[in-house]
Amino acid sequence: MIRTQRLAAGVCALLAALTAGLAFPAGAVADETTALAPKVDLVLDVSGSMRTKDIDGGTRMAAAKQAFNEVLDATPETVLLGIRTLGANYPGDDQKTGCKDTAQLYPVGQVDRTEAKAAVATLSPTGWTPIGPALLKAADDLDGGTGSKRIVLISDGEDTCAPLDPCEVAREIAAKGIGLTIDTLGLVPNTKMRQQLSCIAEATGGTYTSVEHTDELTDKVNQLVDRAADPVVTPVATEGADSCSKAPALKSGLYTDREEFGQERWYRVDVEPGQELRASVSVSADRAMNPDYGVLLRAVTVHGREIVRGEAAGNGRTDVVSTGLRYPKAESDDDEAAAETVCLQVTNSYSAASGVKTTPGMPVELTVDVVDGPSQASDVASFGLGRGWWLLGLLVLVGFLAGVLWGWVSRWRVAVWRTN
């Protein structure tokens, strides 16, 4: 009887397992993971001008190939990556044909590094610069799925296929509401190219970066591919005030604003006792700027006393300047102690180049994070140099004792020498 019951139980368990396998096949789980995976399409300009030798003694094409090989090695397994070219195949003079010259070199998907590198190795600077058509096709490459989607466009010149304005194409892509971001990188840029690539990026909330060295190109593309794998955070539009008393109250999150040249923008954050405020700000040079500029982020009390500051400077070769600060609020023995209002001031020293419009203001991205801080007031004092004080005191004491001991040993050795 017992054996019969065990056999029946085993058969039921087997049927349950088979039913579960049919209801939730392994492929369904894999398909769901793929649908959520972030996608990146690298769009590379392979037009004739890419054979110019002005990047680290080599051609622009050679720099792009080296960067792509390193990026392929570093691409996270969770990212579905593809490569599209523009101007790679048609060497002729017919504009209509040249402006159709965009092709998918490597399909968006799990990266076979050997295969992708072999495809990149075949590229040779050839034809036109159909940026607009390439962006439209790249958007199609990324179709499907619910993960983040990002196009990274690398070009050394402006589009040669007007009237299909790539800026309008980018706005059209953004208007579809598919959550696709376009980041642009300009190789050895001129003013017209900078304006066009900046416009493309701004239309979709992306970034523009000028590049003049191979390592810069590698680092930036790697950064953008890694960013695609990060959880998507939707920034919240806010508007800073001209004083702390009028400033908007912010909580932990990512915020966007615009700041005019030389303007101050104020924001407020409440920090409870025992918490730590971490804030960072980035200001983008989205138009031609005079060199030598900076960004200052200050945390001050409501009475105007500075608590801590962060500052950074640029020399005309960077398009984004970022800085940050941290402020730990000491714990209080009073359980009902009120939160402290910290005023954040963002100031810039940018100046527009001659003839460049100063409005609207430059894009500002502000990150605010209020987290649990050190658990003891003594630990709060150790923020920054704090723990260095007791360590310094210990070193002084050890040095003093070592000096006394060495002096005693020296005198003893002299006394022994005289005795002998």
Per the listing, tokens 């070769």 go with 317
**pLDDT given at position 207:** 83
Residues of the chain where predicted confidence (pLDDT) is lower than 70? 1-34, 177, 231-233, 316-319, 332-335, 373-395, 414-420
**pLDDT given at position 375:** 45
**pLDDT given at position 292:** 82
Assigned CATH for 35-229: 3.40.50.410
**pLDDT given at position 378:** 37
User: Which DSSP state fits 375?
Assistant: S
**pLDDT given at position 405:** 78
pLDDT in tens, 231-241: 666 788 999 99
Domain edges within the chain: 35-229, 236-379
Q: How many CB atoms lie within 10 A of CB 372?
A: 9
Q: Do domains 35-229 and 236-379 have the same CATH topology?
A: no
**pLDDT given at position 3:** 45
Instruction: List Cβ neighbours of 67 (8 Å cut-off, separation of 6 or more).
Output: 214, 217, 218, 221
Yes or no: say if 326 and 386 are a contact pair by the CB < 8 Å rule. no
Q: How many CB atoms lie within 10 A of CB 23?
A: 8
Surface-to-core class of residue 40, CB atoms within 10 Å of its CB (0-12 exposed, 13-18 middle, 19+ buried): buried
- Which residue type, as a one-letter code, is found at position 10? G
Instruction: List Cβ neighbours of 148 (8 Å cut-off, separation of 6 or more).
Output: 38, 39, 179, 181, 228, 232
CA atoms lying within 13 Å on the CB side of residue 266: 15
Handedness of CA 123, 127, 133, 135 (dihedral sign): positive
| SS (HEC) of 190-230 | CHHHHHHHHHHHHHCCCCEEEECCHHHHHHHHHHHHHHHHC
CA distance 266 to 153: 35
**pLDDT given at position 355:** 85
Surface-to-core class of residue 407, CB atoms within 10 Å of its CB (0-12 exposed, 13-18 middle, 19+ buried): exposed
**pLDDT given at position 377:** 38
Tokens found for residue 181: 């971001």
Distance of CA 237 to the CA centre of its chain: 19
Q: Which CATH architecture has domain 236-379?
A: Sandwich (2.60)
